[in-house]
Amino acid sequence: MKPSAHKLICMLFVYLAIPNSASAAVTHYQTPLEQAKWSFNGNVFYCQLQHKIQGFGQLTLKALPGEALKLQLDTDWLSLKNTQSQAQVIPSSWQIDNPSRHSTQLWWLGRSASSQENINPFLEALDQGQSWQVNITSDNGASYQIQANPVNTKKVVNQFRHCRQALLPKPFSYVRRIDFQFDSGSSQLNADHDQDLNAIVRYVLADNSIKEILVDGHADAVGEHLANLVLSKERADEVASRLVELGLSSKMIQVRNHGARAPKASNNNDKGRLYNRRVTVRLVKASTRVAQTAAGEKPHVTQ
């Protein structure tokens, strides 16, 4: 090959390599150490740690009642969909005895990416002086690396842990309506019932927007109509009494009984009859009651 041809080929190779190396460049985002700050806020309904990433967005570690920890990245300008990014714990350079890197995948939906898998190590990492890092590749191939440094985290991590211990056992989406099922011919509560009743009571005592608790007793279609009506009342009364014993005001509770007249499932099989032997507890918020009153609705009470 002639020297001139060889030179042209080399120049072409360099020319083609330049845009490839440029496209592979990673843009780093990290709040300067002197400005870096972790903040905590929370109550019995939620707990969260937050860290702002200068020029990019915010990382949040969040705990909710009855749910696993959630790691979330919210951006100021980047929007992705059907994309995953890796978040990982980066040990400090002096932590040579702990080289492992915990990681999780963040799933993108618009300007937010989140994960609830393998999150607990991220909380422990802050306490041990380790960083968080998120590696992102956008739809157009651009790469970004986000880093959150563990600056003054001891206090906020302890606040977060104490907050998690005080969280309500269940969220409103769970306690707003619960069916308590009973054995045939029985109105006796069991340990499983008590667990959910405690969750209801704790939520109502914490949320002053709950203005009314509707307790509706039901029975399956086995036996006489009058006997089922009485049994459904005994079940509803038992649940209401337990709610009062656990700390709720009887003035908040409206007890109703329906016998076998409102089946939830077919009474032609054991499974259906089990669903029908129930007491339904519903929590009514103030806004819901106002809306019902405005629409002219009145609760139906069966004597």
Residue 64 has pLDDT above 80, yes or no: yes
Q: Which CATH class is domain 172-294?
A: alpha beta
Q: Indicate the pTM of the whole model.
A: 0.81
Encoded amino acid at 174, one letter: Y
Torsion over CA of 59, 65, 66 and 71, rounded to 10 degrees? 0
Q: What is the pLDDT of residues 241-272, one digit of tens each?
A: 999 999 999 999 999 999 999 999 999 999 99
Q: What is the pLDDT of residue 91?
A: 86
Question: What's residue 164's pLDDT?
Answer: 97
Q: Does residue 57 surpass a pLDDT of 80?
A: yes
CB-based contacts of 63, cutoff 8 Å, min separation 6: 42, 46, 47, 48, 69, 70, 160, 163, 164, 167
In the predicted structure, residue 171 carries a pLDDT above the cut 50: yes
Instruction: Compute CA distances 31 → 53, 177, 202, whole Å.
Output: 5, 45, 40
CA distance 200 to 179: 12
**pLDDT at site 39:** 97
Element (H, E) at 55: none
What are the residue ranges of helices labelled H in 92-217?
120-127, 154-165, 172-175, 191-206
Q: Quote the pLDDT of residue 19.
A: 46
pLDDT at residue 53 is higher than 90: yes
152 pLDDT higher than 50: yes
Which residues, 6+ apart, have CB-to-CB distance to 145 below 8 Å? 26, 27, 28, 29, 133, 134, 135, 136
Helices 120-127 and 154-165 sit at what angle, rounded to 10 degrees?
Answer: 140
Burial class of residue 177 in the structure, from the number of CB atoms within 10 Å of its CB (0-12 exposed, 13-18 middle, 19+ buried): exposed
User: Between these two residues, 301 and 229, which has the higher pLDDT value?
Assistant: 229
Question: Residue 297 pLDDT > 60, yes or no?
Answer: no
Q: Which helix (H) or strand (E) holds 218?
A: none
CB 160 within 8 A of CB 123: yes
Q: Report residue 97's pLDDT band, with 50, 70 and 90 as the boundaries.
A: low
Q: Is the pLDDT assigned to residue 98 strictly greater than 70?
A: no
With cut-offs at 50, 70 and 90, classify the pLDDT of residue 288.
low
CATH 2.60.40.2540 fits 25-165, yes or no: yes
- Domains in the chain: boundaries: 25-165, 172-294
Contact status, residue 273 vs residue 229, Cβ threshold 8 Å: no
User: Which of 214, 216, 215 is closest to 261 using CA atoms?
Assistant: 216
Which of 118 and 276 is assigned the larger pLDDT? 276
How far apart are alpha carbons 203 and 178 in whole angstroms?
Answer: 13
Token pair belonging to 72: 């979330």
